[in-house]
Amino acid sequence: MPTTLTIKQPDDWHLHLRDGDMLKSVLPDTARHFARAIIMPNLVPPVVRAADAVAYRERIMAALPAGSTFEPLMTLYLTEASSADDIAAAADSGLIRAVKLYPAGATTNSDSGVKDITRVTDVLERMAEIGLPLCVHGEVTDPDIDIFDREAVFIESVLEPLRSRIPGLRVVMEHVTTSDGVDYVKSGGDNLAATLTTHHLMINRNHIFKGGIRPHYFCLPIAKRQSHQLALREAATSGDKSFFLGTDSAPHLDGAKESACGCAGVYNAPNTLSCLAHVFEEEGRLDNLESFASLNGPAFYGLAPNVNTVTLEKRSEPVEYAASVQTAEGPVTVFDPECALHWHVS
């Protein structure tokens, strides 16, 4: 086993940076390790029009640490009132790299999302024409469907019919959490890919309930049983170009998570690379870490991989990272993988 690994600098293909004080507090943790990230648009109110993305991008650039070359890749939030022309112009100018589909009510700040996918057909057809990817939160919202089945039901009842209607649409199934999702993506051809999060590779649903309710492991889609976790680990570490990193790092104030109705999201930006090296080493696939974290994502998005490299070094002393990040409004707990991490990013 090697003890150092140099890879092209990674990108994060699914990231929540929030806004205001929270943005200022969390952005350095991503900018430290990642060259680029696809920025989720689920602010309140959401980033719907091109002008919203211009303004949000400016706030992100203003919050970057001095000297950072981090590049935010902007997205727009799809609503039933979205304009195909506005989206196409934003893509044409290079402002946005993707559009995000939230089924209304599926997750944090998704109330303005899409209730009926057939009402956005004109937008999706235009996206297929111009090759603009659709990032999909792939869960149905029907309260009668068991929360652990919502991804599998979404594939069958929404995604497959949509992709049959518009086969040219490029789709990223985000934060896939089931073997159903992995199998669907493997058989989906060149227009379909998936992101996998750091935490879904390291935890399964047992972690959420170990000795009590553990709100910092609650995210959406919710972690599934271990057999699904193992399928995700196999997909991530296989080198298959359809799978790449989207951390879904999603900071919330501790007070909002440690509550009678705690919100969904795991904040993993500070220790993601150390976690990933740990997982890939456990799977005996360190040689595929670069594909997953640095190569497959840009290839799907039609971008060149980064030129810079990062080196990971395995040392006997564990990686030290703060248990929480301080913001002006309070602490945000960092993802705890419940094991010592030994891969240091230099």
**Which residues have a catalytic role annotated?**
248
Residue-wise burial string across 153-173, b where 16 or more C-beta atoms lie within 10 A, e elsewhere: bbbeebbeebbeebeebbbbb
Shortest CB 87 distance to ligand NCD, Å:
20
Stretch (H or E) spanning 195: strand 192-196
* Paired tokens of 115: 């209730």
- Number of continuous H segments (helices) and E segments (strands) in the chain: 14, 13
**Which 147-206 residues touch ligand NCD, going by CB under 6 A?**
none
Number of residues that bind Zn ion (CB under 5 A): 1
Edge-to-edge strand order for the sheet containing 71-77? 12-15, 36-39, 71-77, 96-101, 134-136, 171-173, 192-196, 243-245
Residues contacting 297, CB < 8 A, separation 6+: 11, 13, 195, 244, 245, 246
Residues contacting 109, CB < 8 A, separation 6+: 42, 43, 44, 46
52 lines the binding site for Zn ion (CB under 5 A): no
Q: Is 345 helix (H, G, I), strand (E, B) or coil?
A: strand
Nearest CA among 302, 318, 288 for reference residue 201: 288
Q: Tokens 């944090």 correspond to what residue? A: 108
User: Running DSSP on this structure, what letter comes out for residue 83?
Assistant: -
Q: Tokens 């649903």 correspond to what residue? A: 205
Shortest CB 221 distance to ligand NCD, Å:
7
Answer with the entry of ligand NCD, Zn ion, none that 220 interacts with (C-beta below 5 to 8 A by kind): ligand NCD
- Which x/- pattern over 40-79 shows residues binding ligand NCD (rule: CB under 6 A)? --x-------------------------------------
265 lines the binding site for ligand NCD (CB under 6 A): yes
248 lines the binding site for Zn ion (CB under 5 A): yes
Stretch that binds ligand NCD, among 102-110, 124-132, 147-155, 239-247 (CB under 6 A): 102-110
What are the phi and psi torsion angles at 16 (to 5°)? Answer: -105, 120
Q: Using CB under 6 A, pick the residue from 53, 173, 202, 250 that binds ligand NCD.
A: 250
Q: Using CB under 6 A, pick the residue from 137, 150, 163, 224 that binds ligand NCD.
A: 137
Q: What is the torsional sign of CA 7, 322, 250, 182?
A: positive
Q: Using CB under 6 A, pick the residue from 84, 208, 256, 264 that binds ligand NCD.
A: 264
16 lines the binding site for ligand NCD (CB under 6 A): yes
Considering the complex, state which of residue 108 and residue 179 has its C-beta at the smaller distance from ligand NCD.
108
Q: Using CB under 6 A, pick the residue from 25, 30, 75, 108 that binds ligand NCD.
A: 108
Shortest CB 174 distance to Zn ion, Å:
7
Report DSSP letters for 91-116, one per residue: HHTTSEEEEEE-BTTSSTT-TTSBS-
Stretch that binds ligand NCD, among 71-79, 87-95, 105-113, 230-238 (CB under 6 A): 105-113
12 lines the binding site for ligand NCD (CB under 6 A): no
Considering the complex, state which of residue 102 and residue 292 has its C-beta at the smaller distance from Zn ion.
102
Considering the complex, state which of residue 171 and residue 310 has its C-beta at the smaller distance from ligand NCD.
171
Shortest CB 98 distance to Zn ion, Å:
13
Q: Using CB under 6 A, pick the residue from 182, 219, 223, 236 that binds ligand NCD.
A: 219
Considering the complex, state which of residue 181 and residue 305 has its C-beta at the smaller distance from Zn ion.
181
User: Cα(63)–Cα(70) distance, rounded to whole angstroms?
Assistant: 11
For binding to Zn ion (CB under 5 A), which residues are involved? 248
Residues binding ligand NCD (CB under 6 A): 16, 42, 107-109, 137, 219-220, 248, 250, 264-265
